[in-house]
Structures are given as structure tokens and as C-alpha cells.
Structure 1
Amino acid sequence: MRFRRWLALRAFHVPVLAGLALALPAATVAETGKLPLTGGVSSISGAAGGGLTPWAVIGTNATEGEIGVSAFATRLRTRDYGLTSSGLALGLYDRVELSVARQDFGAAPAAALNAVAPFGVEPDLHLKMDIIGAKVRLLGDAVLDSDSPMPQIAVGVEHKRLHPASAGGVVQFLGADTEGTDVYISATKLLLDRNLLVHATLRSTNANQNGLLGFGANAPGRSSRSLQPEFSVAYLLRRDLAIGAEWRFKPDNLRALGRAAGLGDALREDDWRDVFLVWAPSKHLSVTLAYVDLGRVVPGVTANRRQRGAYVSLQAAY
């Protein structure tokens, strides 16, 4: 479903959440808040979790009976590409999370696709994507249940709309849609006595490169959904400092299409992974630094190079 032309996304984007946050009574907005880092950080899609994958935690500093708000800005740079992501989230009573994010993906190497067909891709291509997300905690409490086997479990949805700019012809060639929806279920277990957090997500998706190359593909590519797991682990070095790693499995919807078009593995999609360090200088601020490996992203235009690089994200949460 196309959300009635994205539900006029412009009417429910960052300005609306910001306005809602400003309109909340001061006594309602979280002041005491959660233990440092137990609400995760903002992922590139806007949902609370790690940098690459959402966790079952509800973002912001809001605990039960409170409403919180967070904002983030992220910059990721690999050898050939760059991603800027920013957005806002609302946490409602530590039960519901609403988020919006905008991604801007610098994909200049894609201009090489003009050698395959007259796609008209401009040299300084920027793919942009809007994401509206919602997450609901179903069972468990990561902190209160830390001494029991019960994890915190949540379900979430991310509806995405791609703005392909001059790469519109490429998206049409792939047979991909410019809108799609991911649905996921997450389980997060916090072991406070061991300073350890472990997490798993199972995502139903047909997104190509997280949606930056659209959703689905013409045959013999894959248009149907597939289930993709995502894993995270984090270790608390001290109250305000944590290290961890993430592994996000990805669908490979486009490779068969590329082979059928005589392009070999030019459209191959690999898993994403990272190793991260999070520092919380105060209960309201966090800084995330990471080494990221996105694998091969459209390797046909990057001489088959792996896209490794640096990731930095700043978050303010209340």
C-alpha cells in the first residue's frame, strides 16, 4: 500500500514531531530518565538501537509514565559513498516509539551506469529517502527483567520513500518501486550483572540497499519479501562508555537481474557490519563512533571495492 501518496509525508515529517515535543507539558517530558545507554542510540533509520539496526528498546530518556524526545545526526563515509542521516523520535511511556528520518546518500560513482544505457545519471548524484517508523514494546523490560531470562520484545515498522533524482531511469530499469515497508520483531536482553547487552532482529523486507535502490526487482531478480536477521552485542566498559558490534544480513534481490543483463555481479548486495564505541558525556548526550563495512555496494561502478569507512553519530535525548 502506498499510504495514500505517503500520507503527504511533508505533513508528518520532522517539523511535526518537533512541534509535538515543544508542546508537551514540562512535567510530562522525561527528566529523571533511564540508566545511561540503556535506551540505545539512534540508528540510521531513526529507530532506537545500534547504528545499523533497531533494538527492542524504546528510545529517548522517557520511562514509564513519561514522554521523551530525541534528535540525531549521523555521517557515514566509505571509500566511494557517503551517507548523511538525521531525524527525531518520540518515546511514549516506554511503550511506543515514533520516529522520522531523512537519508541523503552521495552516490557519484553511479554515473558510470550511463555506459550501460543512457540513464542520464548526473555526476553528483544524491539519493534521498524519507523514513517514518513506529515501534511498540510487547513484552519484557530490559532493565527490570535483567535478572531473568525474559528479553524485551518489540515489533516495528519502517515505511520508506525514495527520491531517486537523476537515477530514476536506473530504478525503472531495475523494476524497483520507490516506496516500501519493512516490518520487524526485535528481542533485546540486558545482563546488568555482566555489563552485557545482546540483541536480535528479524526483518521482513524487499528493500535494495536498505531502500536506496528501491524495493523489489524485475525477474529474474527478486521482488518478494524475505526474512533477514540482524544481530548486535554491546559491553559496558563503564557507566558512560560502551563498545559493541553489529551484523545486518541483507537481501540480494538484484544480483540475478544483473547477471541476466550481462553485468555479472555488478548489482551484488552484501551484508552490513560495524564495530562501535558509544560515549555518553551526560544523560542527555551521546556520541557514537564506528568502523563500518557495507560490503560491495553496486560493485560494477566501484571496481568491486568493499565499502569500508567511518561512522559518527550525535544524539540528544530528553
Structure 2
Amino acid sequence: MTTPHLLALCASLALCAAGTAHADSGKLLLTGGVSTIGGSAGGGLTPWAVTGTYATEGQVGGSAYLTRAGTQDYSLTGYGAALSLHDRVELSLARQDFDASPAIALNGIAPFGVTPGQHIKMDIVGVKVKVAGDAILDADTWMPQIAVGLEHKRVRPGSLQSVLDFLGTRTSGTDVYVSATKLLLDKSLLLNGTLRYTRANQNGLLGFGSAAPGRDRYSLQPEFSVAYLLRKDLAVGAEYRFKPNNLEALGAAAGLGGALREDDWKDLFIAWAPNKHVSLTLAYVDLGRIVPGITNQRRQTGYYLSAQVAF
């Protein structure tokens, strides 16, 4: 079964769940997070320990999302769907379509055969399991909600395959993470910390690992989110996601200096949920330099817009 068919199936299951187990619970608006770029529930850039939707114990919830992001040189379109089972397990599927048109400049370095207007596509299958705590019920204690998750990613680079071969990167990989989310109701504040075990380059869009002397091993990368509820349906916040920077040493050894450097990601966001079925997120993103050797060292800043429906 192809990924588009899987996404359609997941969305259909979400709609079926809405008819059999209404996830209209006592959960507060926005405390289930929104859809991340990887398809799981959280902020835009990093997962939280919540399992998404407003389903509680004994209920099944579903969600689907569409995301668009744009910077000076790149753009990304993403979509996906997720199921939340009994407020304990989350299953998600996502696809990313990355416009890598600037990569045509790599043909000036070597005969890579990169075609004009090349896109990179990546499929992500995720699972998250809550293992301790409850963000809502434990809001008046020190205990956060804790979840473990994984994201298996497979990238289809098209004519950029020769570039990935040169870099010695793999086209599939799996991230494992632990998230802890703490809701401070009396302060209208949500805090999240995630520790990711990964070897993905640019979240996987440039493959996984690196040829020597680059880093070809997994490393632990922290991620942080904070959200403040201005009112029950409106939140503002920020995220910071550390990145492994596996490829820079390889680029330097090849005489390219910092042309393959990977920077940390960060954003400032505002999320609005007029009801428990719809949410909209707008963010200013700073993705640092993405393959700065072909973008004249420009930092990739821009917008992130995402819409989610949940049942």
C-alpha cells in the first residue's frame, strides 16, 4: 500500500472514530497540542508527551493536518493524519514535499545530474506511547506527562540521489525520543522538553548519517517548547530544536569549508482553536543555514502555517 493510500486510510479511520467515540472531553483547548511537521502532536517543530486530539481514556480520536512553510530559498508542504487511542497511544503518518530547487547549483561543483526544480519527498510513520503522568489531572503536582515515541523516515531524493551517495547518507532512518510535558494551569503555561536520539540530516531530508569524517552515529539532541495561554482558545509560544550537524566535517575535508553546516531550528508561534475540532497555527521560523554553500550563507527565515481538524 502506498503512503497516500495509508494517509487516506488513517484519515478515514479518524472520521470513523468520530462517529463511534466522540472525543469531546473535559480537556482544555490547545492542551493536546497541534500537529508537528513529523505528524505527531506537539508544537510545530517538536513533539510533546500528549497524544493529540481531545480523546480521554476509553475514547478514540483522530486528526488530520496540512502545513506550508516558506523561507528565502526553500519551501515545504506537509500533510498527514493521526489516531489517538484511549489517551495512551498515538499513531501518525505524514508526508513532506520539500522544494530543493537551489540544489541545481551543485552541478557546478561536480556532475551530480541534479534536475531543475527538484523536490525531495519524505514519508514518516510515527508511534507515541504515554508511560507516566497526566498533563491535565496532574496539573497541580510536580509530575509531568511522559511519553516515548519513534519516527521512522524514508526519503525519496529523486535526482539528488547522487548527492546523497557522495555524502554517504542513508535514505531511511528512525528517530527515538522521550518527551515530558508539564501544564501549569494556575500560570496558563505549558512547558515541554524532548530528547531525541537521531542521525537525521535536516530532519532526514538530506538522509541519515554521513561518510567519514562526518558523523555516522546517533546522537542525543534536546528540543524545548513553551506555550502561554492568552485565553482559552489562543496561545503563543516558542520552540528550540538542536540539530546534529553530521555533514559539516565531511564538507570541510572536501575543501568546501562550512558549506554543509546544519544549524538549530527555532520558531515563535501563535495558535488559535475556535473549538475542539479546528486549530490554526502561524509561526515565524528560523531554520538557520540549510546547505549554505548553495544559498550564499543566507539564514533561512520565514513563515509556517498549519491547519488541523480533530475529532
TM-score by length of 2: 0.98
Aligned partner letter, 2:144: P
1:265 to 247, 258, 268: 258
Q: Distance in 1 between matches of 2:5 and 2:173?
A: 17
- Matched-pair identity in %: 65
Aligned partner letter, 1:56: A
CA contact (8 A) 2:40 2:126 kept: yes
Go from structure 1 to structure 2 and tell me whether the alpha carbon gap of 1:92 and 1:235 turns closer, same or farther (over 3 Å shift): same
Show CA shifts across 1:197-254 (max 9, x none).
Answer: 0110000000000000000010001110000000000000000000000000000100
CA contact (8 A) 1:33 1:62 kept: no
Partner of 1:127: 120
1:93 to 86, 99, 103: 86
Aligned partner letter, 1:126: H
Counting only pairs closer than 5 Å after superposition, residues 183-194 of structure 1 correspond to structure 2 as 183-194=176-187
Identify unmatched segments of 5+ residues in structure 2. none
Aligned partner letter, 1:102: R
Q: Distance in 2 between matches of 1:124 and 1:310?
A: 21
Aligned partner letter, 1:138: V
Shift of 1:112: 0.5
Q: Distance in 1 between matches of 2:273 and 2:99?
A: 29
1:26 to 15, 19, 32: 19
Partner of 1:65: 58
Shift of 1:9: 5.5
Q: Distance in 1 between matches of 2:4 and 2:146?
A: 30
Name the SS for the 1:119 alignment partner: coil
CA contact (8 A) 2:13 2:62 kept: no
1:212 to 194, 205, 218: 205
Q: Distance in 2 between matches of 1:12 and 1:136?
A: 24
Partner of 1:162: 155
1:84 to 71, 77, 82: 77
CA contact (8 A) 2:221 2:243 kept: yes
Q: Distance in 2 between matches of 1:25 and 1:295?
A: 40
Go from structure 1 to structure 2 and tell me whether the alpha carbon gap of 1:134 and 1:292 turns closer, same or farther (over 3 Å shift): same
Instruction: Report whether the alignment pairs 1:74 with 2:75.
Output: no
Shift of 1:33: 5.7
Go from structure 1 to structure 2 and tell me whether the alpha carbon gap of 1:305 and 1:316 turns closer, same or farther (over 3 Å shift): same
Q: Distance in 1 between matches of 2:112 and 2:187?
A: 54
Counting only pairs closer than 5 Å after superposition, residues 249-264 of structure 1 correspond to structure 2 as 249-264=242-257
Residue-pair matches, total: 311
Q: Distance in 2 between matches of 1:190 and 1:25?
A: 26
CA contact (8 A) 1:175 1:217 kept: yes
Counting only pairs closer than 5 Å after superposition, residues 130-141 of structure 1 correspond to structure 2 as 130-141=123-134
Counting only pairs closer than 5 Å after superposition, residues 49-60 of structure 1 correspond to structure 2 as 49-60=42-53
Q: Distance in 2 between matches of 1:26 and 1:310?
A: 35
Instruction: Report whether the alignment pairs 1:234 with 2:234.
Output: no
Q: Distance in 1 between matches of 2:164 and 2:239?
A: 29
1:295 to 270, 288, 291: 288
Identify unmatched segments of 5+ residues in structure 1. 1-7
Instruction: Report whether the alignment pairs 1:16 with 2:9.
Output: yes
Aligned partner letter, 1:181: T
Show CA shifts across 1:39-83 (max 9, x none).
Answer: 000000000000000000111121111000000000000000001
2:194 to 194, 198, 201: 201
TM-score by length of 1: 0.95
Shift of 1:27: 3.4
Name the SS for the 1:26 alignment partner: helix
1:147 to 133, 140, 144: 140
CA contact (8 A) 2:18 2:61 kept: no
Name the SS for the 1:247 alignment partner: strand
Give the superposed CA RMSD. 1.3
Go from structure 1 to structure 2 and tell me whether the alpha carbon gap of 1:25 and 1:146 turns closer, same or farther (over 3 Å shift): closer
Aligned partner letter, 2:163: V
Partner of 2:31: 38
